[in-house]
Amino acid sequence: MYSFGDSSVTRRLIAHLDMDAFYASVELLRYPELRGLPVVIGGGRRHQPETLPDGTRRFFRLRDYTGRGVITTSTYEARALGVFSAMGTMKAAQLAPDAILLPVDFDEYRRYSRLFKAAVREIAPLVEDRGIDEIYIDLTELPGALADGGRAIGQRLKDAVREATGLSCSVGITPNKLLSKLCSELDKPDGLTLLDFEDIPARIWPLAARKVNGIGPKASERLAALGLHTVGDIAAAEPAFLVQHFGANYGRWLHEISHGRDEREVVTHSEPVSISRETTFERDLHAVRDRNTLSGIFTELCIELAGDLARKGYASKTIGIKLRFDDFKSVTRDLTLPAHTMDARAIRRAAGECLKRVDLSRRLRLLGVRAGALARLSDLVAPLPPAPEPSPPRAAEPEGRYGLPLFDLHPAD
């Protein structure tokens, strides 16, 4: 593979395309009057805008928010006020009380995700899907792409995305995935950044070490304690020093990435490890006093998870749950089934068994259900038939519908 300082090997051209403030940008298409304003995405159904008799809309302001929610994303105007994704909504309200709060609409975001990815594949079919709003693209074999370092094809991709969705994206084009992901962030929003290996000292080395995907908060703290704050600091360190402090594998990896070396291929298809559904409550719920509410939410999550499995063509042999309590501590439990399933009732029953192994004396702020040990239906010798379309869950599900109590207060055995 092409490596730093070695021009004798075949060069690759890899793009990383990242949609700009994706969820917020989709909402601005729906509410164009909010353009240029600080807007936060992360509300619930009660934060839906109200249409007034004169046709105008009344929006919910952050200053009026009460609850335990978390920000999903925000517009660049809100970010300028210090409001970022994963921030508690109450904290965001202190920083930007006049910001608009909109509910999350994942169905709409997924629709726009499919649109922009289809537009890209029409031009460059070798695409690695990395999430709802980002992809890698191998441009190496596209005619003329190498001639100008990818500038023309990069602009063509950006134009195609805007035409298909009305949204902007930022694209980084370099010889590998590592550098392209870094570059797609350099000139946001609506950026097109090209970089070659000789540009690394000027554009990559000044970046904070934490900007590199794979250097998390703990590693960043350890690097800072050693006086290594930027990518350039890591590049200047002796490989033996990095290995001494971070171990052989991670130490060598730090040395390689600091010099822009990355041999990973663009993977056009990969099997998911698991599929999950979860929800964070507007207020903390108690297993006894809010039993009916929790029961309805729990059943709905299982039904949605079964629908995800059916739509994607998978069955699961391991069902798990995830709980987060009011003290922010999380627990998970899993149960392996005798056979793969995609049936909502079987998922609900197995998840209920997992719940029996958790002490539910504390209030809950998050509940999730996960399907693991996946197998494609086409690969199973005798795949289970799809479950019949379930009727919408009732908020107060009759106890024992699946032969199990939903929430009890027996601690784990």
**Residues tagged active-site:** 134
Calculate the alpha carbon distances from 169 to 54, 123, 160, 285, 382 in Å.
35, 16, 10, 39, 44
Q: Could you write out the DSSP letters of every residue in 45-105? A: GGGPPEEPTTS-EE-EEGGG--SS-B--EE-HHHHTTT--TT-BHHHHHHH-TTSEEEE--
Structure tokens at 222: 């350890």
Beta-bridge partner residues of 128: 136
Can you read off the two tokens belonging to residue 139?
């441009």
Cα radius of gyration (the chain): 24
For residue 97, say if its preceding peptide bond is cis, omega within 30 degrees of 0.
no
Map residue 43 onto helix, strand or coil.
Answer: strand
Distance of CA 393 to the CA centre of its chain: 27
Contacts of 288 (CB under 8 A, 6+ apart): 407, 409
Contacts from 270-275 at CB under 8 Å and sequence distance 24+?
A: 271/374, 271/376, 272/312, 272/314, 272/374, 273/372, 273/374, 274/370, 274/371, 274/372, 274/374, 275/305, 275/308, 275/309, 275/312, 275/314, 275/316, 275/370, 275/371, 275/374
Other Cβ atoms closer than 10 A to 252: 14
State the chain's maximal CA–CA distance in angstroms. 70
Question: Three-state SS for 194?
Answer: strand
* DSSP structure class, residue 230: B
